[in-house]
Amino acid sequence: MPDFTAGALISGLVLSSIGLFLFLRAKRMADPVGVIGGLLLMVLPLFMHSLAVLWLVSVGLIGGVLAYRRLGGVTG
In a domain, residue 18? The reply is yes
User: Can you tell me the mean pLDDT for 66-75?
Assistant: 80
- Please give the tally of structural domains in the chain: 1
Domain that holds residue 44: 7-69
Who's near 62: CB < 8 A, 6+ residues apart? 18, 22, 37, 41
Condensed to tens digits (0 to 9), the pLDDT of residues 47-70 reads 888 899 999 999 999 999 989 888
In a domain, residue 36? The reply is yes
Given a cut of 70, is residue 2 above it in pLDDT?
no
Supply the pTM of this predicted model.
0.84
Helix, strand, coil percentages for the chain (3-state, nearest 5): 80, 0, 20
In a domain, residue 26? The reply is yes
In a domain, residue 33? The reply is yes
In a domain, residue 61? The reply is yes
